């Protein structure tokens, strides 16, 4: 079974801290994604990577950065956490779209609280 593993299920951080959210996938997928999900707003794409060291901004990249040094790992970085970044963060990976097996697989999410 495909596995997308997020490093933490729950996280509490202080305002101003640098926060790292890690995501690892075991299916050799090219594409990896970071979303945040908030009530009433649905899933919003933060960043997207379609290859190692490649990244693209999504809809809401402000306050975030990402790192993809290895194909299986995609890290989301909150440079200076703020309370409005309290959210559920979801990582996903997929093969190239349109191909057999191109569906995206999601991790279980990290619920981050910034106090």
Q: Summarize as ranges the residues that interact with other proteins (CB under 8 A).
A: 4, 30-31, 33, 35, 42-45, 48, 50, 56, 58-59, 90, 92, 94, 96-98, 102-109
- The tokens describing 101, both together, are 């097996």
User: For the chain, how are helix, strand and coil distributed in percent, rounded to 5?
Assistant: 5, 55, 40
Question: Cβ of residue 84: shortest distance to other proteins, in angstroms?
Answer: 20
CA distances from 56 to 8, 16, 75, 84, 92 (A): 24, 25, 13, 22, 15
Q: Which is nearer to other proteins, 3 or 18 (CB)?
A: 3
Distance of closest approach, residue 15 Cβ to other proteins, in angstroms: 26
Question: Between 18 and 57, whose beta carbon lies closer to other proteins?
Answer: 57
Closer by beta carbon to other proteins, 67 or else 95: 95
User: What's 109's DSSP letter?
Assistant: -
Can you tell me the distance from the alpha carbon of 67 to that of 18, in angstroms, rounded to the nearest whole number? Answer: 14
Least Å distance, CB 16 to other proteins, is 29
């Amino acid at each position: 079974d495909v596995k997308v593993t997020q490093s933490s299920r729950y996280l509490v951080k202080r305002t101003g801290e640098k926060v790292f959210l890690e995501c690892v996938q075991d299916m050799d997928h090219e594409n990896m994604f970071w979303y945040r999900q908030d009530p009433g707003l649905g899933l919003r794409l933060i960043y997207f990577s379609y290859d190692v060291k490649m990244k693209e901004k999504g809809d809401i990249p402000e306050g975030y950065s990402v790192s993809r040094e290895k194909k299986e790992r995609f890290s989301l970085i909150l440079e200076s956490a703020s309370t409005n970044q309290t959210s559920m963060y979801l990582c996903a990976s997929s093969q190239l779209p349109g191909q057999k097996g191109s569906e995206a697989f999601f991790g279980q999410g990290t619920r981050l609280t910034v106090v």
